[in-house]
Amino acid sequence: MNVSEYIVKYVEHIGIDHAYVIVGGAALWICKALSKSEKLKFTFTNHEQPAVMGADGYGRISGKPGVAFVTNGPALTNTVTGMAQAYVDSSAVVVFTGNSSLAHVRYEREHNMRQYGTQDVRTDLIMKPVTKKYYLLDDPAKTADVLQDAFATAAGGRPGPVCIDVPISVQGAECPCAFPPEPLPAPKETMTKDTVRAVLKTLMESKRPLIMAGQGIRLSGSVEMFRKFIELMDIPVINPRMGIDTIQSDNKYYAGRMGNHGFRSAHFAAQTCDTLLVLGSHMAPNATGYNIWDFSKQSHKILVEIDPSELNKYELKIDETIEGDLHEFFTKALEIIEEEGLRGSHSHWVSVCQEWLKTYPIMQEKYYEGELNSYRLVDAVTKQAKENDIVIADTGSSCSVVAQTWQVKEGQRVFISGGLSGMGYWATSLGLAEANKGNGQVICFVGDGSLQMNIHEFATIERNQIPIKLFVVSNDGYQFVRMSQGGYNINPTFGTDVSDGVPIPNTEKITKAYGLEYRSIRSAEELEPVIQEVLSMEGPVVCEVAVSKNLEVEPRLRSIANPDGTFRMPHYEDLYPHLPEDVLKAELEKAFEE
């Protein structure tokens, strides 16, 4: 085998059956090897950004790293947003890129040149900030070692993307490596039972323990163990955005979602708990609020985290940190609970959190009046969605409204651009839908502005008949930015609207030009029957929904203007629209009643 053939055979060997590809001159030998594969299926996208996003989505559902093959220069630079997305949101992706001949690559780097090889750029300098690791395959004898380390790095620890740079002179060289290579040793355990036992003791002794359940629970393959754990320990749960699908919305321990666009119930719980156990969340400011020092300042905070760089938090005091894998934590915790017959008893605290959740629902009467709005749209879709369906929301108001409104059912997954918040994230649904074929719907919400960022992938959807149900939230531009500008007295708004010059084309004409099915919802009366029709149709459908362009995302942490023109952030429990002080005080006091 040559190096390219070895790469393809290795990808097949580890059970990966799908890859995202855009061909190019600096990847000719890789393309030839791919063309001979009888096990790999390919999706050819129209841009490298959605190729990586598709691989990202496919990997998240398949449970194995997503794989993309591209070429050098502009193809490589086009992958950066997809790689950065996977990096900040901890998704295992392996991207192979072709390059100029090894001699040219070396000469360019040794002399710190802008460019020497044809169509080349400094792949190493571009990739290192947005990947867990960058590899230059500069010796055919290193092929097996590089592949094993790359895939182990992508999937191991805190997952993330890696890039393997394969110069064209190496691609066609004979590979001397044995196949298959010797498997790598299993990672060693890092957590003692005594460490876990101490956490359990703290939780048992607490009157108001609370769990902040992040994406790390899902990434570690621990969702079922986590759900058993909270039931045995009798502890309510709040979610940052990336952890939404760790718990069903009808679970009695579910206490809402937190963050700058969170639930009052979750914020009340965070500000009155006496112990906060943080599992698999890096506690970003969009979860804790920008007054980081104010977040759950009264609680004893315990953080279990696999990434050592996340153990020390800027301006946030963590009382105990445990470095390690959550699967190991839950395995040991459940063993101890069983061996020692431990059972938590926090029924009053759990009932208070449930009372808050019911008293302050996200869906309000006003959303069912007047113009059709995004809240009513998402509420109508979530009611009709089935178990095992997947929902994905692009950034902006679609992201915030879905994060607040979606009701998670058994087997459902929820995907949101949590860290990068990139417009065009909807293209990740390409991979989600391919990996989930035959299991459930993939329902995607995207604003009419964000849709344009990857509109060329309509062709990919049509060509491959990828069964995505795409709800286009049509509000004449960038509603979320429009709301933010209005909140800071930028009036009239700038660059957020069709009337400002933002070029939002006719969605119906574009959809039909690409050969896709199109439906529209223009009134509340059409909402439920058209949603039912769309979700019952075979194959991909684009459904445009005309909604109010001036929707306020509520509740949320919103700055308050001071008399001198400056702004201050309210306390974490004081979400906008602000409750009367006496009402807010009375609600918080419920946590301390016996």
d(CA 162, CA 83): 8
SS3 of 49, please?
helix
> Hey, which CATH number is domain 365-546, 3.40.50.1000, 3.40.50.300, 3.40.50.970, 3.40.50.11310?
3.40.50.970
**How, if at all, do strands 237-239 and 161-167 pair?**
unpaired
pLDDT tens by residue, 414-429: 999 878 888 999 999 9
Q: What is the pLDDT of residue 106?
A: 95
pTM of the predicted structure, to 2 decimals: 0.94
d(CA 423, CA 432): 17
The residue ranking higher by pLDDT, 70 or 312, is 70
Task: Write out 194-232 in H/E/C secondary structure.
Answer: HHHHHHHHHHHHCCCEEEEECCHHHHCCCHHHHHHHHHH
Quote the tokens at residue 93.
Answer: 């992706």
pLDDT tens by residue, 353-395: 999 999 999 999 999 998 999 999 999 999 999 999 999 999 8
d(CA 570, CA 592): 22
Length of the chain, please? Answer: 594
d(CA 438, CA 553): 35
SS3 of 156, please?
coil
The amino acid at residue 425 is Y
Q: Residue range 235-241: average pLDDT?
A: 97
Read off φ and ψ for residue 520, nearest 5 degrees: -140, 155
Domain assignments of the chain as residue spans, ordered by start: 3-171, 193-359, 365-546
d(CA 256, CA 263): 6
Asked if 41 and 18 count as a contact pair (C-beta separation under 8 A), the reply is yes
pLDDT over threshold 70, residue 24: yes
Nearest to 455 by CA among 385, 366, 501, 516: 516
pLDDT tens by residue, 531-545: 999 999 999 999 999
Superfamily the domain 193-359 falls into: TPP-binding domain (3.40.50.1220)
Q: What is the pLDDT of residue 394?
A: 94
Does 365-546 match 3-171 at the fold level? yes
pLDDT over threshold 90, residue 269: yes
> Hey, which CATH number is domain 3-171, 3.40.50.970, 3.90.480.10, 3.30.830.10, 3.40.50.2020?
3.40.50.970
